[in-house]
Amino acid sequence: MNEDIQNFLNALDGIGYIVEGGGRILAVGQPQWQDFLEKTGFAASPTKNVIGHNLFDFITGAEVRSSYQRLHESVWHGQGQKLSFQYRCDGPSVKREMRMSMSHLSLDGIGGAVLYQSQLLSEVARPPLNLLDPDLILGVMANERNFPIVALCSYCQKVAWPLSEHREDAREWITPEDYYARGGHSDVRVSHGICPSCVGMLEMA
């Protein structure tokens, strides 16, 4: 990726990255990437570790991965020159409202590509919620333990609360705060999915 494009990504508000049609990451805004990883508590990873890799390999949960692929392909094919949606990227002690924008790009020698721009809209402190610990979100703390599975919406961070022992689809999506208020605990494995409200939001994006 040439220097002008790298300088453009480095100057964007938030994290910017360019992805080709098949999902390969071509370039990433350098300083914002490191700053955000440090702020959110995820292990710092040099951008060279993601450039050249497929974006969708980093997305956990088949349903979530499929939703990103659908949006990506829509923008890449030019069916929507740009789309955006809000999502959450909470930490144990902080609520974060984010906006993801995806825009079609035409690059010499590559053809169509998609510019992703993830921006922080607000950040509010709250009492710690261990369910949103990065290690738990990534499965590090429960890989070899027979903990129950809890479904977490990857877009709004709501938790699926079962309403029936006999029907897996009988569940209510509640906030992490309500999850603990109802007796939920942190000895779980997190399954990444999408709640019905966010399914509807993405269909309109």
Confidence band, pLDDT 50/70/90 cuts, at residue 96: very high
Residue 48 confidence (pLDDT) above 80: no
pTM: 0.86
Topology (CATH) of 3-125: Beta-Lactamase (3.30.450)
Residue 167 confidence (pLDDT) above 70: no
Confidence band, pLDDT 50/70/90 cuts, at residue 9: very high
The CATH 3.30.450.20 portion of the chain extends over: 3-125
More confident residue, 34 or 105: 105
Three-state SS sequence of the chain: CCHHHHHHHHHCCCEEEEEECCCEEEEECHHHHHHHHHHHCCCCCCHHHCCCCEHHHHCCCHHHHHHHHHHHHHHHCCCCCEEEEEEECCECCEEEEEEEEEEEEEECCCEEEEEEEEEEEEEEECCCCHHHCHHHHCCCCCCCCCCCEEEEECCCCCEEEECCCCCCCCEEEECHHHHHHCCCCCCCEEEEECCHHHHHHHHHC
